[in-house]
Structures are given as structure tokens and as C-alpha cells.
Amino acid sequence: RNLHLLRVLPFRMDSQNQYCVSRPIYSTRAFEHVNEKQVRETKTIKERLRNSVKCSPKLIPQIIKKFFPILNWLPIYQLKQWLPGDIVAGVTTGMVCALQGLAYSLLVGVPPVYGLYAAFFPILTYFILGTSRHLSVGPFPVTCLMQGAVVLSLAPDELFLYHGNTTGVNGTATLVVNTTARDATRISIATSMTVLIGLFQFGMGVVQVGFLVRYLSDPLVGGFTTAAALQVVVSQLKLIFNVPTNNYNGILSLFYTIGDIFKNIKQTNMVDLIAAVLTIIVVMLVKEFNTKFQKKLPVPIPIEVIVTIIDSGVSYAMDLSTNYGAGIVRTIPRGFIPPRSPDVSLFSSFGGPSFSTGVVSYAIAISVAKVYAAKHELIVDGNQELIAFGISNIFCGCFSGFVATTALSRTAIQESTGGKTQVAGIISALMVLIVIVAVGPLLQPLQKSVLGAIIVANLKGMFMQVHDVPILWRKNKTDCCIWVLTCLACIFLGLDVGLLTGVIFELGTVVIRTQFPTCSTLGNVPSTEIYKNMKDYKNIIECPGVKVFKCAAPIYFANIEYLRDQIKHTVGFNAVRVFKKRNKALKKIHQLIKKGKLKVTENGLVPVAPLGVDNEAFERERDPEQVEGGAQQEVNGGARPAAEVEVQVDWSSTLPVSVRIPKVNIHSLVMDFTAVSFLDVMAAKSLKLIIKEFMRIGVNVYLAGCDDEIIMKMESMGFFDEVVNRGMLFISVHDAILYIKMETDSENSDDSMAEKVPETSKPS
């Protein structure tokens, strides 16, 4: 019984809660007149630029705070409440950031100390310029891999080979890599590319084009980062196995690298492999423990730091490099390198990859920043973030660092351990500074395979995105296709080309969805002003003689022909074909009249001789009083005098000629434009032609629900004239239907399905 009441209650609530509206039937023109429509002020580009650069003494503090967001939160910093959490978060995040900087330098192809620079310098500028209070700024594996692909392609080992002092089996001198020259060239490329990335980001922020990142949808970013994670794992396999591989970039580079690894698998250093496997297992298990007991642990266990310290101690004690041939970091000098300007001559070599890397790094950062801004009810300015990251990368590049963004794992640690502001970021930078100036040399025995294993272990979250595929398939198959295609494209074509392919495919899906929009025939819910799709509901009715057509998309050059076809399908006939067939029938009727086989009366056509067609619909008696001169005079065997007479043809009845004319069962067509947000010149021209095609066969067309912006565009494009005028615009579909009913009821003596054609008699 209770279940029955629950099922019936919503219906009762709906039937009791009603509202009644009494208002006039509004055409758009009448509504504008009654409500006194105002003319909008349109400003020229010059006026807009003048207003945008206008500055007053009152606006100066706001402008300064906008470009230096630190002034918004630093004056209100709550020392007792926020500082303890910021210290704990900064120390914890700083240790992780330093080790990730060392590890991610391997992805870029530069010595590990430059990873420490990349983990230190960007934080300093972002502290002042960034709008997010929780981001942990520094290197990220995906962007490092994208930058490393460029570095390795421009400076491969093959360019730095020279003949060594030792000889090979056949007596020739062995080739040795000049690591000093190679590293110097790679550092120059990496730092110059970082500066160019920063310039791109800064320029985009200045011209306020942060909206471009919106074209990187979540499915696209998910597929891209998953493929990038796979690329990162493959790139680290050579360190984990400690086997030589060539440097590949571009199409199928992933598979070429895998091929080299399997080709040289017999050269695997077991010490490096065992250390890497153990590191991956331990790091992943402890991270799972941290996640599971997050609320109970005061701070997450810094397992990367612990593993690094243990491995450095074991490697130093057992001299793994000398005794077992393990690959170690070897050199981490203390202190900083003097700043230097980028090599501008290299900019042309990596302009495209720099732009794509800059966009990806910004997309990752802004997406993470918005997550935590929403959680803490804060605001993130996308364009200011571009400026902040742009200046941070320029600054970092000049001090020999590589591209910086953020990482969800580091940011999660900083926020979960109590970080409230970017003071935590500054403290983490101090931790990295301690490593640079003091602790760095102690990490020189650290195995590279352990650093590679730390990178792989931190990619678990990216690989878990694969679980999004079946969810996307159930929710939206198009988004699922974007995810899968972007991922496959990045795997097979490389990250740059793959990302571009994914963006093009994504935009293509948008174009296709607007090129083939959802169109429907609407019906009325009885006794309401509600109109819904006829296919979706049973208890809706269609107004007799009227079709209501709805297009749920912008109308532009690419979909106007599809729209025309959908209108034909909705009304059930082709207006152009109807017009041509009617003209053909009229010509034949005209010939029969001239031959005297049809007699013209003011009320219709009367056959004089049997035509083989029974057409009783036209056999009407003529009222003699309506004709001047009394009864009708027949001249020349039924021909009428040479006077122009109107012939009424009832197109819905059988005609006295053998022409099959499509039936036109409507007298009005209402187009619901409530969902139309855009109309271009070609679409307006074609739409106007469609309306005229219907009007010339006696079908009136009405446009309902047009937005004021659409109407203004119609006027500016010369859409309206004497035939297609503003009188056919209505505020809503219901207004148009009520107007049609009113007009139909008032035309008692006129037949809306008839067409009058002037005729003359047969010449004598």
C-alpha cells in the first residue's frame, strides 16, 4: 500500500500544482512594440580597445592584484592556522619533488642535476604570479617525455661518436660517445625549448586565449596521457634492463625501441633489473597503503625518499658500479649554474613541438588547479595561469631547467598534508635547495634503474584511466571513440602527431554532430503550451494542417542542405517538385480551355466534352447575378470572350489532366528556432529560399523562438523583404499555432489550398 502511494503521489502533485497564464498572442514584432525594444549600442573595435586600456587611479590596485595574485592572499595569511600545515606539506612535497626531478631528467635526456633545477626555479615565480594556492609546480613525466623526444632527435648519440683508444675484435678502434659534448648540446636544446614554451604560454596569456585549452576535452586528455604513460614506461625499460637502444622519434618509435630492448635483452644487468623490480613493487604497495589509510596517517610515507636513501647506501657500500656494472647517476655537482640566454637559432627546429608541449602542460596544470579550487571554493584565472607558467618556464629555462607544470600526485600530497597556500610551495623549494647545495653528492651512487622504477611506479594513476573506456562507452560512444583513437594515435604516431590527430578527430565529431543535427516533428500536449517530439510521447497531438519542425543545432553552410532534406521528410513532400508539377498541370488545363474541352466559370472548371476523367469537384453552378450582362455567353463552341478570368484549381481533388501532383496536406509550417544559436550568410540565403518555395505553393511559414541575436543577424544579412518579412516571427511555437488557428477560422470563404491563375479565352 505504501509503495502504491509513492507511485501515485507524483501524479497527484503534478495534477494539483498548476498555473494559468493569460496574455496576448505575440508575434516578435508585436512583442517588441508592446515592450518597447531598445536599440543596442554597438561599439567599434577602436572604442573597445580604448576601454580595455583605460586606466584610472581606482583601477590600479585591482590591476596590480590581478597580475600579482600573491597580494590577494598574503595580507590575509593566518599565521597560526595555516603555517603549521604549510610547513608539513612543504617538507613532504619537497622531498618527493626533488626525487621526481632527478628521475624525470632521464626522460628529457639531460644529467639528473638539471632535474633539481627544474624542480626549484619555477616554484619561485609561481609563488608570486600563480592563482592556485595548492598546485605543486615542477616537472611532469608526460611533458618531460615530449620535450625529451625533441632533445634526443636533435642530439642523438650517433652525432657524438669518436674513435677511442681501445680496439675491437677486428682490430679497428671502438667508437665512444663524447658524453660531455652530447650533454652540453642536449642541455642547450632543452633549456632553449623551455624558454620557447614559456614564450608561447606568456603570449597566449597576454592575448587572453586561455580558452584554447578547452578544445582538449577530458576524453582526449585521458587517451593522450594514457598513451604517454606507456611511452614513458618503454623509455625507462632501457634503464631498468640497462641495455643499449637507439633513439627514435615519430611514427612507430615505441615499437622500434621495444625491438631494440628485446634485441639486446641478453645484455641485461641483473643488479639493475632486480633493484628496479623491487622498487616498483615496494613503491606501489606503500602508495596503496598511503591511499587506504590516508585519514589515519598524519603524513603519507615518503617511500620514494626511503627507497632512494637505501639504494644510494647499498650502491655505495657494495660499489655496484665497479663490481657489477650497474648504471648510476655518478655526478651531481653542488650549487647552481650561472644563468644563460637561450640559443635563439634553435627555435625554428622545435617550434611546433614547443607549442604542443606548452598547451599540454597548461592543460594538465589548469585541470588540476580547478579540481582543488572547486574543493576549497577558490577561483583560478586561466589566463593569469598562462602568464604565470610562461614566466616560470622562461625563468627556469634561463637557469638550465626544463619544462614545468604540475603533477596530480605531488599536488595531492601537498593538499592532503595540510597545505593551504603557496607558502608550502616555497618550503618545498627550500627542500630542493638543500639537495642542490648540500645533499646532492650523497645521491651520486644512486642507480638509474631505481630512478626509472620510481617513474614507472608513479604512472599507475594514468594507466588506471583505462577503466574510463567502458564507462564512456555506456555514457557517450563519441567520447569513447575520442579517447581510444587519441590513445592509439599517440602510441603509433608519436605524442605530437597523435595529439594533433586526436584534436582534429575531436573537432570532426563536433562538426559532424552539427552537420547532421537532431531534427524532430513536434506535437502539442493537449491543453498546454508544451510541444514535444511526436516520436517520444503517445499523448500528444498534431495540429491539423500544421507541421512544427525543430532543429536543435546552429544552422550554417555545412548543414543547410541536410536541414532542407529533413524539412522535406517532415512535411512529406518536395515544395519545388510540387510547384513544377502544378505548373505543368496548369499548362495542360490552359490547352484544354483553348481547345474548348473545358469551360471556365468564376467558380471553377466545367468539362464540355467527356475527358475520360470524372471530376465532379469542378462541376459547379454559376450564379448569373454575379456576372455582368446576365447569363453566361458561350462563344466559338464554349470558348470565352477574350477577357481575363481567374481559374480556381482545387489541388487536393482529382484534376481533369493526367498529371500526378504530390499531395500537400498542410497549409502552415512552423519552424522552432529556440535551439538555433547561429546563422551564417549561406544558411540565411538558403533558408529564405526554402521559405519562398513553400509560400509559392500556398504554405505559410512561421519562425518561432528566434533569439534576438539571430534576428539581428537576419536583419544585417538582408534576410527580410516584402515576401519574407518580420511578420512571420513569433515569440514561441504556441503563439504561432494560436495565430494560425485564428487566421484559419477567420478565412471562412477562402480556401487556403487553392491557387488562382489568370486565363484568357481561345482566340477566334
Comparing 205-214, 309-318, 386-395, 694-703, the range with the smallest average pLDDT is 205-214
Note the pLDDT of residue 640: 40
User: How open is the CA angle 360-254-274, to the nearest 5 degrees?
Assistant: 100
**220-261 pLDDT, tens digit each:** 999 998 999 999 999 899 999 999 888 887 889 899 999 999
Q: Is residue 57 part of a domain?
A: no
Query: Nine-digit cell at 659?
Result: 498529371
Query: Nine-digit cell at 534?
Result: 511526436
Q: Are residues 532 and 463 in the same domain?
A: no
Give, as one character, the DSSP assignment of residue 725: -
Query: Nine-digit cell at 331?
Result: 655526478
Note the pLDDT of residue 176: 83
Q: Are residues 476 and 564 in the same domain?
A: no
Note the pLDDT of residue 57: 75
Note the pLDDT of residue 646: 55
Q: Which residue in the block uniquely carries the three cell numbers 594514468?
A: 462
Q: Among 443, 476, 507, which residue terminates a domain?
A: 507
Q: Are residues 140 and 106 in the same domain?
A: yes
Q: Which residue in the block uniquely carries the three cell numbers 584534436?
A: 503
54, with CB counted inside 10 A (0-12, 13-18, 19+), is: exposed
Distance of CA 535 to the CA centre of its chain: 30
Q: Are residues 410 and 373 in the same domain?
A: yes
Q: Measured between alpha carbons, how far is 83 from 91 in angstroms, rounded to an integer?
A: 12
Q: Which residue in the block uniquely carries the three cell numbers 573506456?
A: 469
Q: Are residues 661 and 536 in the same domain?
A: yes
Give, as one character, the DSSP assignment of residue 298: S
Q: Which residues contact 565 (CB under 8 A, 6 or more apart)?
A: none
Q: Is residue 38 part of a domain?
A: no
- Three-state secondary structure call for residue 648: strand
Q: Measured between alpha carbons, how far is 114 from 267 in angstroms, rounded to an integer?
A: 29
**pLDDT above 70 for 369:** yes
Q: Are residues 560 and 456 in the same domain?
A: no
Q: Are residues 484 and 566 in the same domain?
A: no
Sign (positive or negative) of CA dihedral 464, 467, 468, 469: positive
Task: Name which residue leads in pLDDT, 537 or 589.
Answer: 537
Q: Among 453, 488, 507, which residue terminates a domain?
A: 507
Comparing 236-245, 368-377, 524-533, 595-604, the range with the smallest average pLDDT is 595-604
Q: Is residue 651 part of a domain?
A: yes
Q: Is residue 440 part of a domain?
A: yes
Q: Are residues 500 and 536 in the same domain?
A: no
Residue 213 CB neighbour total at 10 angstroms? 20
Query: Nine-digit cell at 575?
Result: 515544395
Cβ atoms of residues 116 and 138 within 8 Å: no
Task: Name which residue leads in pLDDT, 609 or 194.
Answer: 194
Q: Are residues 443 and 300 in the same domain?
A: yes
**pLDDT above 50 for 68:** yes
Q: Are strands 729-730 and 700-704 parallel, antiparallel or unpaired?
A: parallel
- Shortest CA distance to 649 belongs to which of 620, 626, 621, 624? 620
Note the pLDDT of residue 763: 38
* Best-predicted range by mean pLDDT (203-217, 239-253, 714-728): 714-728
Q: Measured between alpha carbons, how far is 671 from 733 in angstroms, rounded to an integer?
A: 8
Q: Among 473, 507, 541, which residue terminates a domain?
A: 507
**503-513 pLDDT, tens digit each:** 999 999 988 88
**476-510 pLDDT, tens digit each:** 999 999 999 999 999 999 888 899 999 999 999 98
Cβ atoms of residues 507 and 215 within 8 Å: yes
Q: Is residue 58 part of a domain?
A: no
Beta strands in 468-597 (DSSP E): 519-524, 531-533, 546-551
Q: Are residues 418 and 552 in the same domain?
A: no
Greatest pairwise CA separation for the chain in angstroms: 131
Q: Are residues 376 and 434 in the same domain?
A: yes
Sign (positive or negative) of CA dihedral 133, 137, 140, 144: positive
* CATH of residue 752: 3.30.750.24
Note the pLDDT of residue 755: 45
128, with CB counted inside 10 A (0-12, 13-18, 19+), is: middle
Cβ atoms of residues 492 and 252 within 8 Å: yes
Q: Is residue 1 part of a domain?
A: no
Sign (positive or negative) of CA dihedral 450, 455, 456, 458: positive
Q: Measured between alpha carbons, how far is 495 from 142 in angstroms, rounded to an integer?
A: 9
Task: Name which residue leads in pLDDT, 14 or 754.
Answer: 14
The mean pLDDT of 76-80, rounded to a whole number, is 91
SS (H, E, C) 146-185: HHHHHHHHHCCHHHHEEEEEEECCCCCEEEEECHHHHHHH
- Shortest CA distance to 201 belongs to which of 66, 359, 343, 341? 359
**405-418 pLDDT, tens digit each:** 998 788 888 888 88
**pLDDT above 80 for 635:** no
Q: Are residues 495 and 535 in the same domain?
A: no
**pLDDT above 70 for 195:** yes
Q: Mean pLDDT for the chain?
A: 85
**609-621 pLDDT, tens digit each:** 443 333 333 333 3
What are the residues facing 702 on neighbouring strands? Answer: 670
Q: Which residue in the block uniquely carries the three cell numbers 533569439?
A: 707
- Shortest CA distance to 271 belongs to which of 329, 332, 318? 318
Q: Is residue 310 part of a domain?
A: yes
Number of domains in the chain: 2
Q: Which residues contact 12 (CB under 8 A, 6 or more apart)?
A: none
- The band of 711, judged by pLDDT with boundaries at 50, 70 and 90, is very high
Q: One-letter amino acid identity for 136?
A: S
**pLDDT above 60 for 575:** yes
Q: Is residue 180 part of a domain?
A: no
**pLDDT above 90 for 20:** no
Percent of the chain surpassing pLDDT 70 = 87
Domain encompassing residue 571: 516-623+635-764
Q: Are strands 546-551 and 531-533 parallel, antiparallel or unpaired?
A: unpaired
Strand order of the β-sheet with 546-551 is: 531-533, 519-524, 546-551, 668-672, 700-704, 729-730
